[in-house]
Amino acid sequence: MRIRGYGAGTGAGGHGQGGDRPGAFRRRHRPGERLAGRVLRREAPGLAWVDFQGLELLASIASDPEPGETLLFEVLRTDPDIVLREIPVARAAGDPLGPAADAFWAARSQFEANAAPLREALEAAGPGPARRQAAFARALDAAPELEALFRTLEQARAAASALTAARGAGSLEYRPWLVPRALSGEMLVAGRPARPGGEAVTETTFSFAVPGPGQCELRLLESATRASARLLAEHPDKAAELLLALRAGGWPGERVRLFAPAPLPAPARAGALAALLRAAGARPRLSRRV
């Protein structure tokens, strides 16, 4: 996808205002982040205006999507030019989880685009999820605009979570204090009943991205007596430092046995929520230059 121009800018934070829309995009987003973009209108075949949470960009998209369609992208780089990779998301016609997922992704992108002060507060809080969660709450209290964006995000998360829970996939959670460096985090938490002779298990799938390892997924299984987790990464050879950071940060906890990083399957790069959207014949997406 290649940026050809720019249009109106709206939304919280004011970054969409003014003429330098590519510059505003660079200030708001970081490589590795997954973000949603809604196609507003076609300018010409293969050329469309896309709304990235209030920031309108004119982009060439070879797949030529329909106006109103929401697409999921990964930011590959922002300098010297902006390059996004469109992430394939299979969708079943009439599935209410599709629009709910789109709303969650859009609200998350809007929130994280303005959340630099929160990331700083989380880094400064030190080890321990409880300490970081308290720091997160204090930082929100001090920033009414961010708090409003977080409320919108929580409403979208709750709506999608009701649907994921109804199909037995567990609750959808957004917990940015668990891994302060993580981008585009989303988590599914599901309780599994005990099998004969076994124990009840809580299964957690946490999708996120960090510079270096790229797109990641932590798969955690916990019972009353044991717990284990494996980190899957787009670049597992660069994930050793992330494992150390997880240990030092206090999550998923000292009792959890962490296995060596393994490669993340390509379909999982879209995240845990996208994996629930199943449809036949989803059209392939290619890398685009913005």
Write down the mean pLDDT value for the chain. 85
What domains are there in the chain, each with its CATH number? 2-87 (2.40.50.140), 97-276 (no CATH)
What is the percentage of the chain residues whose pLDDT exceeds 70?
Answer: 88
Confidence band, pLDDT 50/70/90 cuts, at residue 257 = very high
pLDDT at 287 exceeding the cut of 50:
no
CA angle 253, 258, 260 (to 5 degrees): 155
pLDDT of residue 5: 52
Residue type, 275: A
pLDDT at 251 exceeding the cut of 50:
yes
Least confident of 28-37, 49-58, 79-88, 131-140: 79-88
pLDDT of residue 285: 37
- For 49-99, what is each residue's pLDDT tens digit? 888 878 888 776 767 788 888 888 888 888 878 777 777 787 777 889 999
Query: Which tops the pLDDT comparison, 58 or 6?
Result: 58
Q: Mean pLDDT across the stretch 257-266?
A: 94
> What b/e string do you get for 160-175 counting C-beta neighbours within 10 Å, with b at 16 or more?
bbebbeeeebbbbebb
Distance, CA of 247 to CA of 27 (rounded, Å): 30
pLDDT at 274 exceeding the cut of 50:
yes
